[in-house]
């Protein structure tokens, strides 16, 4: 989640000792805790999806990525325990993601081997976003093992990496770029 600043300076110095303040927690917490790691990974993913959008020429894909960014902010708010937050991720959100995945996947050739993450600039960025998503998912799972989370967050993160994968493949197909299989 992006940081908001109040006051005359865009910094406080309060985190100089390696701690931070999270919405609902009564005291400062270490910046390397599972919760802060999960929130930071979601923020990194959201920022990288913004980079994907900057390289996207398709308004349809851009809208999907924008909705994804909105949902990532919802996930970040849930992970942080944001007070007054009422719009938690639901099964309906994951289902909508699955419908988009299926739509794009059904237009792609079947894969029988791994493919190299390459192609157009958008494709390469989407593959990096997919890898960041997988890391964020691992951080969320680590936090979930210590502190029960909304299980839909785990499902959504897992599906999101699949969405980014099929969108990367779709971007190459749209631009006529052939996928390169991994040669074992």
3-state SS, residue 181: strand
pLDDT for the residue numbered 9? 75
Please report, for the chain, the start and end positions of each structural domain, with discontinuous segments joined by +: 19-174
Whole-number Cα distances in Å, 68 to 5, 37, 54, 64, 109? 24, 20, 15, 6, 25
pLDDT digits (tens, 9 = 90+) for 161-183: 999 999 999 999 999 999 999 98
pLDDT digits (tens, 9 = 90+) for 14-52: 677 676 667 666 677 766 789 999 999 999 999 999 999
More confident residue, 90 or 82: 90
pLDDT for the residue numbered 14? 61
Classify residue 41 by its DSSP letter.
H
Rounded distance between C-alpha atoms, residue 14 and residue 106, angstroms: 50
pLDDT for the residue numbered 136? 98
3-state SS, residue 33: coil
- Are β-strands 19-20 and 29-30 bridged in parallel, bridged antiparallel, or unpaired? antiparallel
pLDDT for the residue numbered 10? 75
Backbone angles phi, psi at 123, to 5 degrees: -60, -50
Superfamily of structural domain 19-174: Cobalamin adenosyltransferase-like (1.20.1200.10)
């Amino acid at each position: 989640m992006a940081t908001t600043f109040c006051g005359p300076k865009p910094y406080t110095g309060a985190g100089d000792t390696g701690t931070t303040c999270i919405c609902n927690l009564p005291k400062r917490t270490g910046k390397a805790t599972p919760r802060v790691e999960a929130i930071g990974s979601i923020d990194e993913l959201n920022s990288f999806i913004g980079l994907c959008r900057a390289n996207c020429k398709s308004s349809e894909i851009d809208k999907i990525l924008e909705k994804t960014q909105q949902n990532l902010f919802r996930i970040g708010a849930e992970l942080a325990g944001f007070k007054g937050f009422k719009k938690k991720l639901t099964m309906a959100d994951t289902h909508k993601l699955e419908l988009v995945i299926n739509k794009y996947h059904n237009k792609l050739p079947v894969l029988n081997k791994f493919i190299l993450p390459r192609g157009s600039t958008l494709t390469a960025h989407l593959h990096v976003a997919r890898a960041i998503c997988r890391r964020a998912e691992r951080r969320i799972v680590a936090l979930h093992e210590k502190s029960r989370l909304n299980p839909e967050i785990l499902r959504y993160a897992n599906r999101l990496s699949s969405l980014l994968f099929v969108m990367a493949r779709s971007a190459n197909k749209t631009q006529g770029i052939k996928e390169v299989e991994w040669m074992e």
